């Protein structure tokens, strides 16, 4: 289901063009993942599930320069004064990560746990086996898995930055892992399936209240200007580890010490 290498590069190049940004902004919507509390402050709504990601920034030191730059990008988004104040909810920088393979979330997660009391234990065991088998079959890494910032990407309910691999070998390492996960019969039996083509990205924030008077054309212009600034001299992102993580909402991704992980440099 995932793209071939060149197809991926072409698709992400198109996604970050000013024309694509302008088109996407015409269709942005409020995210249900953050809702106002009694005081009108938007807070994360329950949205539990499991995912395979790189270690979040709070536990990651190798990509600190990259994540620090993204934190600066968040502050630049807040400076877009001509947009209504509640237009975006930024995610905690400590939670910055790259999703390698979404597994299960929200209602599907609740249903799986209700139907199978051993679901979570079986999921962790299955992912551990996948990681172990992949580690054994993985070709010895001769260089790190490096990805580069392609630019700002506007999604229907969120905004972030997307990444492209340094070369085809870096891309294949991740796509092969995704294939090992999504094509595993035991995992499929637990109800895990692939829903999306891989688009490497780090989410910066989710859309809040979208005012009817929002000047979408002006917002598109400001996004394009930011995009041009952000892609200049951007630090690279290196993928060292893949980890099974659980989340209760979109602000924190956690794991126990004995949960499965995959070291790409091993």
User: pLDDT per position in the chain (266 positions), as tens?
Assistant: 899 999 999 999 999 999 999 999 999 999 999 999 998 889 999 999 999 999 999 999 899 999 999 999 999 998 875 565 688 999 999 999 999 999 999 999 999 999 999 999 999 999 999 999 999 887 666 678 999 999 999 999 999 999 999 999 999 999 999 999 999 999 999 999 999 999 999 999 999 988 888 888 888 998 998 888 888 888 899 999 999 999 999 999 999 999 999 999 86
258, two tokens: 């004995």
- pTM of the predicted model over 0.75: yes
User: Which residues have a Cβ under 8 Å from the Cβ of 24 and sit 6 or more positions away?
Assistant: 154, 155, 156
Structural domain span for residue 75? 5-33+43-263
Furthest-apart CA pair in the chain: how many Å? 56
Residue 143: inside a domain? yes
pLDDT of residue 59: 95
User: Which residues have a Cβ under 8 Å from the Cβ of 105 and sit 6 or more positions away?
Assistant: 47, 48, 49, 50, 51, 247
Residue 215: inside a domain? yes
pLDDT of residue 95: 98
Residue 149: inside a domain? yes
pLDDT of residue 109: 98
Total structural domains in the chain?
A: 1
pLDDT of residue 228: 87
SS3 label, residue 165: strand
Distances in Å between the Cα of 53 and the Cα atoms of 38, 83, 87, 99, 215 are: 33, 32, 27, 4, 35
pLDDT of residue 128: 98
Domain with residue 209: its CATH number is 3.90.1140.10
Query: Cα 20–24–28 angle (5° rounding)?
Result: 165
Residue 38: inside a domain? no
- Residues 207, 149: Cα–Cα separation, whole Å: 22
């Amino acid at each position: 289901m995932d793209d071939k290498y060149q197809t991926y590069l072409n698709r992400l190049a198109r996604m970050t063009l000013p024309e694509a940004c302008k088109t996407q902004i015409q269709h942005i919507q409020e995210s249900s993942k953050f809702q106002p509390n009694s005081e009108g402050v938007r807070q994360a709504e329950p949205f539990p599930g499991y995912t395979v990601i790189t270690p979040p920034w709070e536990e990651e030191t190798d990509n600190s320069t990259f994540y620090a730059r993204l934190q600066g990008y968040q502050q630049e988004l807040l400076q877009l004064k001509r947009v209504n104040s509640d237009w975006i909810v930024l995610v905690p920088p400590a939670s910055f990560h790259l999703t390698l393979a979404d597994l299960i979330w929200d209602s599907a997660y609740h249903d799986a746990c209700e139907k199978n009391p051993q679901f979570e234990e079986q999921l962790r065991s299955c992912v551990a086996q996948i990681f172990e088998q992949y580690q054994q079959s993985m070709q010895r890494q001769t260089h790190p898995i490096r990805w580069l910032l392609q630019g700002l990407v506007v999604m229907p309910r969120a905004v972030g930055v997307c990444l492209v691999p340094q070369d085809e070998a870096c891309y294949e390492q991740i796509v092969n892992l995704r294939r090992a996960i999504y094509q595993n019969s035991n995992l499929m039996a637990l109800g895990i399936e692939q829903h999306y083509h891989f688009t490497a990205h780090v989410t910066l924030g989710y859309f809040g209240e979208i005012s009817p008077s929002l000047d979408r054309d002006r917002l598109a212009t400001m996004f394009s200007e930011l995009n041009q600034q952000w892609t200049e001299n951007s630090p690279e992102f290196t993928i060292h580890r893949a980890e099974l993580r659980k989340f209760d909402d979109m602000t924190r991704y956690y794991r126990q010490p004995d949960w499965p992980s995959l070291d790409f440099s091993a």
